[in-house]
Amino acid sequence: MSFAAVLSRARYRYLPEHQIRELLLKPWIDTAIPATVLLFAFGTFGVILSDFFTAGNLSDTARQLGEVGFLTLGEMVVILSGGVDLSIGSIYGLANFAAIAALLGFHLPVMVALLVALLLGGAIGLVNGVLVGIWKMRAFLSTLAVLIIGRSVQESLALHYGASFLTDSGGFDLWYWFGDGSILGVPVSLAMLLLAGVSTHFLLTRTSLGWHIQAVGGSRKAAYNAGLKVSTTIAFCYVFSGLCAGMAGFLYSARVANPGSEVGVGFEIVALTAALLGGNSIGGGRGSASKAILGSFIVILIINSLVAMGLRSGATNFVLGLVLLCAVLIDIRWAKTRSKILARVYVSPTYFHPLPLPSIRPDDQTIFAINDALSNTEPIGLGKLDGPEDVIFDSKEYLYTVSSTGDIVRLSPPDYAEPEIFAHIGGQTLGIAMDANDTIHVCVSGMGLYAVGRDRTVKKLSDEVPRSLFSIRDDSRIRFAHDLDIAPDGLVFFSETTARFDTHDWAADSLEMRGNGRLLVCDPRSGKTEVVLRDLIFPNGVCVETNGLSLLVAETWPCRVSRYWFDGPRKGQLERVVENLPGFAANINRSSDGNYWLAFLGVRTPLHDLAMQMPGFRKRMAQRVASDEWLYPNFNAGLLVKFSESGEILECLWDGGQRHATLTSVCEHRGYLYLGGIFNNRIGRIRLPDANPNWTMNQSYWGPMPYWGPMRCS
Amino acid sequence: MFLDVVDWLKGSGKYSTSVPAMDGALKANDALDAADELYRGTQPDNLVHFGGAAHFSIGNEVLRLDLGEVPRVSSVAGFRADVTCLAAVDEQLAVGLESGEMRILGGRFDGAMIDRVGDRQTKAPVAARFENAQTLLLALGSQNYPPSAWKRDLMEGNASGSVWRIDLSSGKSKLLCDHMAFPYGIDLVSGGAIFVSESWRHRIVDISSERPRVVVDDLPFYPARIAATSGGDVLVCGFAPRRQLVEFILREKQFLRRMMSDIPERYWMAPALSSGRDYWEPFQVGQIRQHGILQPWSPTKSYGLLATMDIAGRFLRSIHCRAGGLRHGITSAIESGSQIIMTSKGGGMVLAAQAREA
């Protein structure tokens, strides 16, 4: 291998490019942007202002953060549901006034004052909720109206009664504690904010109410059609916002004790800016508590630093307005392009070095030479089958196959003319196998491993494995179960083709050529599933060998078959059996003479072999070229081989590519070969003149059964 | 400059790989499959009217096609090298050869040979047209490769072709247009303009004025020969379709280099005169047979297309042979009465279709 190739291979092996891209799929990655902005602002102002990092300055910032944070938290929940709450400024002011009045005017205990503030906030929030949620008025206008009314009430109250609350006779230690105290060094308001943030996060992500809020914000019509209670959910959001604003007002009263009329003026803009700056989408549906807190942190930082720099209040509002504009613009662009960007960067191809392509030319007379051995196949179920990826017989001569619509299809002996749907499972049914009792075991991609009994009942055997410790992507779900086989003791070994893509994206996984696949084992009695082998490159066919101690697994893109010992003295060992095949290995099945049949999805081409060594080319192709035009191996060639236990190729049979393109499975039964293809609309059958006419796979696995002849199924 | 870099990163603008759709008058059909087969041979090409009958070339022979109850083909002349272009006027026949020279048969300049024009050797004569009995317009495809290596010329992105006006009596030649990307077809159209089909740039230009004028650009196929009809229109042959993957590969220099050095030419991902017969040909995802059927709209490296265009560059009609068909690689066509005769170089046939259809 050239030096450039060695370098390329090392780069792709050691740089976890795909894991970095998997990070981008995480829902919390949106928060990375405001977090970076925060760090940037922190750094900038820390450099500009000399006394930025003093304890006093940070502590004061932290206390203001508590108040603004509560406002932003409430606003965030309202935005999340698709609305907007402009009245929080006046709720804040009114709650502040009410708390001071309760304490200094009516001499009530501190906790009662807190309750008064909260109840007032909640009541005004309820008014908002009824107006917007239940009477379906426009959020902007009705909350604006509440803002104006609340503001005028606050002004007149402050005018008439404000002076009488100025004398503070003291004795409100608890109240002062709320304003100036600390818990473990953290200011009380900030600590309460963090507690509220965690609770809100829990509410939004782990409770159905939170999911309903996000659903209503994501698409109100769809949520309504899904039967969610849209009105009450929206009303709840406004109540929540009012409660948060009430809490913020109380904390402000504890810190400053100012019953003036200008308290809370303009705070709705601050809260809105903070919510948007944190990355909550203005249209609704996407947002989190951490984003709200981050956003309020950034806003407080900017305001305080601008004030410390000597700018007047008009200038700070100007800067805030600009920042809001930028945040809205970025939000809109990001919402539009997010899924596009993610789709573009997710596919991360890696380097693969193929062995020299074996010749298939008839002139070269190798074992793989092109021939017309399969030109005389007769079709079964022509035009009536859709995607018969695998074929199997039960002990009573019935033929079972699968379909692309998730059915188990059965054809009856002796002529196998009319297919009937034996059972419907869903997803796409792929590999199929029978156990000793003629119970069908089938891999359903998109769903997992299923069993269908003689009475047609469908039972799920397994759809998850323990999540691997260091995987960024959640690989506990079995996304793409492909083929299976059953060991003598009943354990089911099955291949999970890729953990990084779903079935409809199989072409993208082929571009990657990464070891995204696994071999799993499931105990049908207990349902416990474990991972046996990892990092297999598109594992496809699985076949338990005649010795009952090992199984063969085909890896499609590397064009090879390996043997894994699952029992016996060599348990746990993995060895290569056949390498450097001229095509892409699919399913493996036993043959009547103690060897194994292997079907091929397609043949290797020289240009595709070259592309395997150039992952940058494949990555750019995935991003810039339509998926229909991607360079691929030749999937229109129908090809199968027979190989021995030692890996020697004994026979090679070709179809002209007209009838059996993308041949996925070969099943030998009573001297005939049955060919199944995942994109085909028929099963092909051809007679093998030299094969044992009484041999069946069923007997080979489970022992001789008396041959009753064709029977009606009970 | 900055926008250029942005374009390069995004794959837009100059670096875009998108190909225009075949729509409108160029909408796909199967009409070529219904055309009459007049003759079958290995890679027929270079149809031209001469001496009252159609002449074409197969390999190193020039053949005459007599239409009648049964089409008859007879050999007219044979040469040392393969014939790459034909032109005729009165009794003169100009024959371009793979070895690079042009030979004149019959008429005043019988036996003349042209192997130099202006400052260069004639390496690849790919199209020619007599303006009158003593003036010949000659199109040289490339200065880097002979005509049989056209695929390499395309994939390297060369534009070393040129069009010359040669005065046969004095032997003097005048350069009409240089740095052309494979001028595969040339003809005089009504109004006196000289149309040249510039294949690798997938466009047709008019070189009769001082500065070449683009007649039609961004064609969805690679144009081959063109022929003016009696009705004032122009027949345009398309010998292969443009593919988004090929456009992409043309911009991937490292991959191109390795493909051209490591892999035999017939297995390149490049336009071809015929395709689909060899298992080792490059394959594209959309070609996978679904339910045993190769979809006619699947991506394909070869295609059959003959279109009629007016002299303003608007297409009027077209006949196609789609993916999986046999009559691909239409390289030349001439009008013959109410019919159009064309050569399918990839399918190895000479075909005839009704003029009003194509």
Q: Which residue of A has its CA nearest to B245?
A: A629
- Coil/strand/helix, residue B259: helix
Q: How far is it, in rounded angstroms, from Cα B32 to Cα B230? A: 22
Q: How far is it, in rounded angstroms, from Cα A554 to Cα A174? A: 72
Read off the tokens for A486.
């059953």
Backbone φ, ψ for residue B331 (5° rounding): -105, -30
pLDDT, mean of residues A565-581: 93
* Confidence label for A17 from pLDDT (cuts 50, 70 and 90): confident
| Residue from A353, A370, A372, A631 whose CB has the most chain B CBs within 10 Å, to mutate | A631
Tell me the per-residue pLDDT of A455-488, one tens digit each, with 9 for 90 and over: 999 999 998 888 888 777 778 888 899 999 999 9
Q: How far is it, in rounded angstroms, from Cα A81 to Cα A213? A: 5
Side chain identity at A103, as an amino acid letter? L
Q: Answer whether A517's CB lies under 8 Å from A468's CB.
A: no
The partner residue sitting opposite A625, judged by closest CB among B17, B281, B292, is B17
Question: Does the structure show a pLDDT above 90 at A571?
Answer: yes
Q: Which residue of B has its CA nearest to A629?
A: B284
Write out chain A residues lying below 8 Å of B288, CB-based. Answer: 632, 635-636, 661-662, 679
- Coil/strand/helix, residue A72: helix
**For chain A, which residues lie within 8 Å of any Cβ of chain B, measuring from their own Cβ?**
360, 370, 383, 386, 507, 602-603, 605-608, 610-611, 614, 617, 620-621, 623-637, 657-659, 661-662, 679-682
- How high does pLDDT run on average in chain A? 88
Letter string b/e over residues A277-300, b meaning 16 or more CB atoms within 10 A of that residue's CB: bbbbbbebbbbbbbbbbbbbbbbb
- Coil/strand/helix, residue A329: helix
Compare A536 and A306 and report the one with higher pLDDT.
A536
**CB within 8 Å: B282 and A608:** yes
pLDDT, mean of residues B290-317: 94
Backbone φ, ψ for residue A509 (5° rounding): -65, -35
Q: How far is it, in rounded angstroms, from Cα A641 to Cα A653? A: 6
Compare B340 and A500 and report the one with higher pLDDT.
B340
The partner residue sitting opposite B290, judged by closest CB among A602, A629, A679, is A679
pLDDT, mean of residues A378-387: 93
pLDDT at A712: 42
* Confidence label for A401 from pLDDT (cuts 50, 70 and 90): very high
User: Would you tell me which residues 220-249 of chain B have a C-beta closer than 8 angstroms to some C-beta of chain A?
Assistant: 243-245, 248
**CB within 8 Å: A630 and B258:** no
* Confidence label for A709 from pLDDT (cuts 50, 70 and 90): very low
Angle (CA) B91-B95-B99 rounded to 5° is 160
Q: Which residue of A has its CA nearest to B292?
A: A659
Q: How far is B86 from chain A (nearest CA, A)?
A: 36
Q: Which residue of A has its CA nearest to B12?
A: A624
Task: With CA atoms as reference, report the closest residue to B221 among B319, B151, B303.
Answer: B303
Tell me the per-residue pLDDT of A687-705, one tens digit each, with 9 for 90 and over: 999 999 999 999 999 987 5
Write out chain A residues lying below 8 Å of B245, CB-based. Answer: 621, 625, 629-631
Question: Does the structure show a pLDDT above 90 at A562?
Answer: yes
> Percentage of chain A surpassing pLDDT 70?
96
Tell me the per-residue pLDDT of A239-269, one tens digit each, with 9 for 90 and over: 999 999 999 999 999 888 888 888 889 899 8
| Residue from B155, B249, B283 whose CB has the most chain A CBs within 10 Å, to mutate | B283
Q: How far is it, in rounded angstroms, from Cα A464 to Cα A476? A: 5
Question: Does the structure show a pLDDT above 80 at B145?
Answer: yes
Poorest-pLDDT segment among A332-336, B158-162, B299-303:
A332-336
* Confidence label for A11 from pLDDT (cuts 50, 70 and 90): confident
The partner residue sitting opposite B269, judged by closest CB among A607, A624, A633, is A607
pLDDT at A168: 64
Side chain identity at A543, as an amino acid letter? C
Q: How far is A661 from chain B (nearest CA, A)?
A: 6
pLDDT at A1: 55
Q: Can you point out the beta strands (E) in A476-528?
A: 481-486, 492-496, 517-522
Q: How far is it, in rounded angstroms, from Cα B138 to Cα B5? A: 40
Read off the tokens for A456.
């047609």
Poorest-pLDDT segment among A329-333, A407-411, A646-650:
A329-333
pLDDT, mean of residues A539-561: 94
* Confidence label for A87 from pLDDT (cuts 50, 70 and 90): very high
pLDDT at A405: 94
pLDDT at A184: 83
Read off the tokens for A278.
């944190």
pLDDT at A711: 45
pLDDT at A167: 66
Report the DSSP beta bridge partners of residue A391.
Answer: A401
Element (DSSP H or E) covering residue B353 = strand B349-354
Task: With CA atoms as reference, report the closest residue to A302 among A311, A215, B298.
Answer: A311
* Confidence label for B55 from pLDDT (cuts 50, 70 and 90): very high
Q: How far is it, in rounded angstroms, from Cα A127 to Cα A524? A: 57
> Percentage of chain A surpassing pLDDT 90?
57
The interface predicted TM-score of the complex, written ipTM, equals: 0.92
Write out chain A residues lying below 8 Å of B255, CB-based. Answer: 610-611, 614, 617
Write out chain A residues lying below 8 Å of B243, CB-based. Answer: 629
Q: How far is it, in rounded angstroms, from Cα A523 to Cα A462? A: 9
Question: Does the structure show a pLDDT above 90 at B14?
Answer: no
Q: How far is B293 from chain A (nearest CA, A)?
A: 8
Task: Please count the residue pairs, one from chain A and one from chain B, whose beta carbons lie less than 8 angstroms apart.
Answer: 112
Q: Can you point out the beta strands (E) in A344-491?
A: 378-380, 391-393, 399-402, 407-411, 419-424, 428-434, 440-445, 448-452, 458-462, 481-486
Task: With CA atoms as reference, report the closest residue to B58 among B47, B71, B72, B70.
Answer: B47
- Coil/strand/helix, residue A678: coil
User: Would you tell me which residues 247-266 of chain B have a C-beta closer than 8 angstroms to some C-beta of chain A?
Assistant: 248, 252, 254-255, 258-259, 262-264
Question: Does the structure show a pLDDT above 50 at B59?
Answer: yes
Compare B25 and A501 and report the one with higher pLDDT.
B25
* Confidence label for A714 from pLDDT (cuts 50, 70 and 90): very low
- How high does pLDDT run on average in chain B? 93
Q: Which residue of B has its CA nearest to A660?
A: B292
Q: Which residue of B has its CA nearest to A621?
A: B248
Read off the tokens for B167.
């005065």
Q: How far is B52 from chain A (nearest CA, A)?
A: 45
Cα-based torsion angle of the residue sequence A68, A73, A75, A76 in order, rounded to the nearest 10 degrees? 130
**CB within 8 Å: B254 and A661:** no
Letter string b/e over residues A373-401, b meaning 16 or more CB atoms within 10 A of that residue's CB: ebeebebbbeeebbbbbbbbbbbbbbbbb
**CB within 8 Å: B282 and A631:** yes
Taking CA atoms, A379 is separated from A382, A429, A681, B23, B85, in Å, by 6, 21, 9, 38, 49
Q: How far is it, in rounded angstroms, from Cα A212 to Cα A226? A: 10
Tell me the per-residue pLDDT of A132-157, one tens digit each, with 9 for 90 and over: 999 999 999 999 999 999 999 999 99
pLDDT at A166: 67
Question: Does the structure show a pLDDT above 70 at A223?
Answer: yes
* Confidence label for A279 from pLDDT (cuts 50, 70 and 90): confident
Q: Which residue of B has its CA nearest to A626?
A: B244
- Cis ω before A187 (30° cut-off from 0): no
Read off the tokens for A74.
């409430």
Compare B199 and B13 and report the one with higher pLDDT.
B199
Tell me the per-residue pLDDT of A611-661, one tens digit each, with 9 for 90 and over: 999 999 999 898 888 889 999 999 998 899 999 999 999 999 998 768 898
Tell me the per-residue pLDDT of A333-360, one tens digit each, with 9 for 90 and over: 777 777 777 777 788 888 888 889 998 8
Q: How far is it, in rounded angstroms, from Cα A578 to Cα A541? A: 14
User: Would you tell me which residues 273-312 of chain B have a C-beta closer than 8 angstroms to some C-beta of chain A?
Assistant: 279-292, 294, 299
Question: Does the structure show a pLDDT above 80 at B2?
Answer: yes
pLDDT, mean of residues B196-204: 95
Q: How far is B274 from chain A (nearest CA, A)?
A: 17
Q: Judge residue A690's burial from the number of C-beta atoms within 10 Å of its C-beta, 0-12 exposed, 13-18 middle, 19 or more buried.
A: exposed
pLDDT at A55: 66
